[in-house]
Structure 1
Amino acid sequence: MRRRDLLGALAGLVAVRPVTGRAQQSPRLPTIGFLGQSTPSVERQRLAAFLKRLSELGWIEGRTVAIEYAWGEGNSERFAKFATDFVRLRVDVIVTSGTANVIAAMQATSVIPIVFAVAGDPVANKLVASLAKPGGNVTGLSTVATDLAGKRLELLREAIPSLRRLAAIGNIGNSLSALELSEVQAAAARLGLETDILTIRQAEDIPSAFEALKGGAGALYIVADPLVNTHRDRIQTLAMGARLPTIYNAREHVEAGGLMSYGPNFTDLYRRAAEYVDKILRGAKPANLPVEQPAKFDFVVNLRTAKALGLALLPSMLARADEVIE
């Protein structure tokens, strides 16, 4: 992706293309393989934060570093293909996010450093030996935090005091999503909420999942993963059609029309991932770079969506939000 292409992507005029041979055309430049879990339009803010921090650290695309881009679009087969392409191109470091992407990269190479900007429980998923001592060619930033599902449900109930029944949608083919769906059910039970679980494995399952939704659900909890993120707009459109307020894990989804989000500041995580890349390109080994955990958690509310749904959010709630989109 040339510089003008990237600027176009960040403006929302995105041209998706496969991995090219640019790394071979610029052999003297250190090369980063950036494997996005979704699409450029969905990840543009995170990518922009990553590139900005790289630039601040002296890594200017096309001048001091080359970058190969590939976009998984929530498809595990694409993850594996592009990870293999990066190895073939002999990139100096692979940057990605999401456990499935990291595993695909690990299966492709045990030598090239891999930095994950986002990964859930990297120890339990055997991405690293420990947070303090990763021990291999992989390191990065974990999103592990306690009881985020419970916190999100508390926010939903505060926004919708009459909430008695909750729907939750997630990719059951993703082990982390399946675990979060279980956590949502447990947290809902503690709050006295009934739950309808909508499970998907591919994009084609999304409409039928909503068709199977039982009447009476007052809100929708979305479990984010590459598949869900890639088809976020479709899910949000169906949710609005069903008059369901939604809660997500990241602000980008609220910008796209979701009611609210609570979770780690993913833009900050991508900025910090650039710092890992900087250290590795200057000679540091991933095995010696401890995995970090989130430093910032954001609560974001879309007031336009609230008004469209006829919700009158309390001023006290809006005052606690880190950002209110009006």
Structure 2
Amino acid sequence: MNRLSKLIVLTLASLLLVACRSTGGNRHTSKQTVTVGILQYMEHDSLTAARKGFEAELKKEGYAQGKNLKIVYQNAQGDQDNLQTISEQLLQKSDLVLAIATPAAQALATASTDTPIVFTAVTDPLSADLVKSLKKPGGLITGTSDQAPIAKQVALLKEALPKAREVGILYTSSERNSEVQVKEAEKELKKAGYRVSKKGISSSNEVQDATNSLMRTADALFVPTDNTVASTMSMIGQLSVEHQVPVIGGSTDMVDAGGLLTYGTNYSQLGRQVGRQAVTILKGQNPATTAVELPKRLDLHVNRQQAQKLGIDLSRLSLK
């Protein structure tokens, strides 16, 4: 090879190297297959709605399964002991991982290497030690919070059930997201003049006894966006009718499953929000500087069938 040929080869190699580096800001091009892992903490309507919303948003943004997207989905079924193993496996296989619910996000954050993580259905990312701040999370993790407007929920309870004097609170004592909401709910309820009784549970096996105990004295039951409680809302709804004690749910899905009403998070839309975040990160945006988002849509939601079973007239409420 003569000197001129060598010079041409070296020049072409340099140009190719520069071209590769110039596209480094994008984690993945549209022609590549992107692998997205999803870790859902357990099966219940709110978390599933968030997952479906996330998948729908990816599709809307041009990521189609079987073409340029592969989704690896894992459900821990509420098994804390299994979360860490699943997290490590997903992070090894994926270009990005979605964590659905606080325990799933915490497990992924602990196991994370250099794979970006987005979360949803996490009430308080700060107290869960997931981010340094909401505006600038730091590290490789960001997402959407499902922080409920508890003050508005209490105001709605007061308007809908003017004769109520005692409100029971059912929650999972081991879920950090629930503890945060219960503290806020107790403060708001007492400020509104209610007596408050609480029952903490450690598993779904305790829900029936705890609910029965609370409903013997309470005029209404308040349940936060608690994963264990949400997974048993159908049973809680049946007990609500038996005791004639209405339930104020933390989310619209919890109300549909057996609650009376709420002003709360639309989890399908929350999933779409985090889907948009995921797309920007796949295109090169840094999670460390991608702000955690609060719900952009909150719905005033009534279960009219449950209201009829409880003999409660909600016609005076404004549902706009």
Which range, TM-score by smaller chain?
0.7 to 0.9
The residue number in structure 1 matching 2:21 is none
- Runs of 4+ in structure 1 deviating by more than 6 angstroms, as ranges, are none
Contact 2:46–2:267 (CA<8 Å) still a contact in 1?
no
Question: Could you tell me which of 78, 101, 105 is aligned with 2:104?
Answer: 101
Contact 1:73–1:227 (CA<8 Å) still a contact in 2?
no
The residue number in structure 1 matching 2:204 is 203
Taking the aligned partners of 1:40 and 1:296, their CA distance within structure 2 comes to 20
Question: Could you tell me which of 32, 37, 47 is aligned with 2:36?
Answer: 32
Taking the aligned partners of 2:72 and 2:48, their CA distance within structure 1 comes to 15
Taking the aligned partners of 2:82 and 2:233, their CA distance within structure 1 comes to 19
Q: CA deviation at 1:107?
A: 1.2
The residue number in structure 2 matching 1:79 is 83
C-alpha RMSD of the superposition = 2.0
Contact 1:73–1:226 (CA<8 Å) still a contact in 2?
no
The residue number in structure 1 matching 2:213 is 212
Q: CA deviation at 1:132?
A: 2.0
Q: Structure 1's 42 and 266: CA in aligned 2 closer, same or farther, altered over 3 A? A: closer
Contact 1:32–1:94 (CA<8 Å) still a contact in 2?
yes
Q: CA deviation at 1:40?
A: 6.6
Structure number with greater Rg is 2
The residue number in structure 2 matching 1:10 is none
Q: CA deviation at 1:119?
A: 1.8
Taking the aligned partners of 1:161 and 1:278, their CA distance within structure 2 comes to 46
Report Cα offsets for 1:179-210 as digits up to 9, x if no partner.
32222222221122112212101111112213
Q: Structure 1's 178 and 260: CA in aligned 2 closer, same or farther, altered over 3 A? A: same
TM-score after normalising by structure 2: 0.84
Taking the aligned partners of 2:177 and 2:257, their CA distance within structure 1 comes to 24
**Identity over the aligned pairs, expressed in percent?**
27
Correspondence 1:55 to 2:59: yes
Q: How does 1:305-324 map to 2 (within 5 A)?
A: 305-315=306-316, 317=317, 320-322=318-320
Give 3-state SS (helix, strand or coil) of 2:204's partner: coil
Report Cα offsets for 1:268-316 as digits up to 9, x if no partner.
111011112212222222113222222222110111111110001133x
One-letter identity of the residue aligned with 1:152: Q
TM-score after normalising by structure 1: 0.82
Taking the aligned partners of 1:87 and 1:61, their CA distance within structure 2 comes to 19
Correspondence 1:128 to 2:111: no
The count of aligned residue pairs is 289
Q: How does 1:111-190 map to 2 (within 5 A)?
A: 111-144=114-147, 148-190=149-191
The residue number in structure 2 matching 1:234 is 235
Q: Structure 1's 75 and 233: CA in aligned 2 closer, same or farther, altered over 3 A? A: farther
One-letter identity of the residue aligned with 1:48: K
Give 3-state SS (helix, strand or coil) of 1:213's partner: helix
Contact 2:216–2:243 (CA<8 Å) still a contact in 1?
no
Taking the aligned partners of 2:101 and 2:44, their CA distance within structure 1 comes to 15
Contact 2:94–2:115 (CA<8 Å) still a contact in 1?
yes
Give 3-state SS (helix, strand or coil) of 2:88's partner: helix
One-letter identity of the residue aligned with 1:63: K
Report Cα offsets for 1:108-140 as digits up to 9, x if no partner.
113111001232222333211222222101011
Give 3-state SS (helix, strand or coil) of 1:117's partner: strand
Give 3-state SS (helix, strand or coil) of 1:228's partner: helix
Give 3-state SS (helix, strand or coil) of 2:218's partner: coil
Contact 1:35–1:72 (CA<8 Å) still a contact in 2?
yes
One-letter identity of the residue aligned with 2:94: V
Give 3-state SS (helix, strand or coil) of 2:263's partner: strand
